[in-house]
């Protein structure tokens, strides 16, 4: 009986050792798992800290840009409200010291020549400075505006004196004359019937 009791005790000790070993393995696994989770939490905290720093930098940059925009708007308002200083008065325009050169709608040193007719019969061939420009195929009862494209012939030319020639294909009437046009002007000339 004593021998059976001893075998039972050894079996119980072996089972206890095995249970203890299993518990130690589980404890080791839990410790590793906790360490891994701790590392992940630490990495996430570092990422959050970096993102917070980035947000703070961006907020600072936005604040600086808003300040710059405000300064520029104040400068624009100041410039718009400032009276210009006259430097030179030319025959046809005033040029200001603190403003750029005046806008030239046809280009610097250029003008526009527009020809139309009030004649109701025939087509009229037209030449500007010896160059054939085209043929007038319709007429106006009064002068058209400078932007008219129907029944007009027009050309952008250098400012100055220009020679106009025309001939009515039906009546054989002719026109031959000179005009002087200033820079930026649109000169409209009506060919009247002879």
What is the structure's pLDDT at 16?
Answer: 77
Token pair 């027009």 is at which residue? 154
In sign, the C-alpha dihedral spanning 115, 116, 117, 123 is: positive
Which residues share a beta bridge with 134? 126
The answer, yes or no, to whether residue 142 has pLDDT greater than 60, is yes
Q: Which two tokens stand for residue 36?
A: 């891994």
Rounded average pLDDT over 134-141: 92
Quick one: which of 194, 191, 193 has its CA closest to 136?
A: 191
Indicate the average pLDDT of the chain.
Answer: 83
Q: Which two tokens stand for residue 71?
A: 């300064």
Q: What percentage of the chain exceeds 70 in pLDDT?
A: 85
- Check if the beta carbon of residue 140 is closer than 8 Å to that of residue 117: yes
Answer whether 0.85 is exceeded by the pTM.
no
- Check if the beta carbon of residue 191 is closer than 8 Å to that of residue 117: yes
What is the structure's pLDDT at 190?
Answer: 93
What is the structure's pLDDT at 35?
Answer: 76
Q: Which two tokens stand for residue 10?
A: 């050894």
Distance of CA 165 to the CA centre of its chain: 45
DSSP run (H or E) holding 168: strand 160-168
**Using one digit for the tens of pLDDT, what is the confidence trace for 27-53?**
778 777 777 777 888 888 888 888 888
DSSP readout, 133-159? EEEE-S--SSPPPTT--TT-EEEEEES
**Using one digit for the tens of pLDDT, what is the confidence trace for 152-186?**
999 999 999 999 999 999 889 999 999 999 998 99
What is the structure's pLDDT at 12?
Answer: 75
The answer, yes or no, to whether residue 151 has pLDDT greater than 60, is yes
pLDDT confidence of 114, banded at 50, 70, 90? very high
């Amino acid at each position: 009986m004593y021998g059976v009791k001893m075998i039972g005790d050894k079996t119980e000790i072996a089972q206890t050792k095995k249970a203890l070993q299993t518990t130690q393995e589980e404890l080791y696994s839990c410790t590793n798992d906790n360490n891994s989770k701790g590392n992940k939490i630490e990495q996430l905290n570092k990422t959050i800290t970096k993102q917070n720093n980035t947000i703070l930098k961006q907020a600072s940059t936005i604040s600086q840009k808003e300040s710059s925009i405000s300064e520029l708007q104040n400068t624009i308002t100041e410039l718009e409200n400032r009276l210009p200083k006259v430097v030179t008065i030319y025959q046809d325009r005033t040029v200001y010291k603190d403003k750029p050169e005046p806008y030239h709608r046809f280009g610097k040193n250029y003008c526009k020549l527009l020809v139309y007719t009030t004649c109701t019969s025939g087509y009229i061939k037209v030449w500007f400075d010896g160059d054939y420009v085209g043929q007038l195929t319709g007429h106006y009862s009064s002068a058209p505006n400078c932007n008219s494209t129907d029944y007009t012939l027009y050309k952008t030319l250098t400012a100055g004196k220009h020679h106009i020639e025309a001939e009515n294909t039906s009546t054989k009437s002719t026109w031959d004359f000179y005009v002087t046009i200033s820079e930026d002007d649109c000169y409209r000339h009506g060919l009247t019937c002879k």
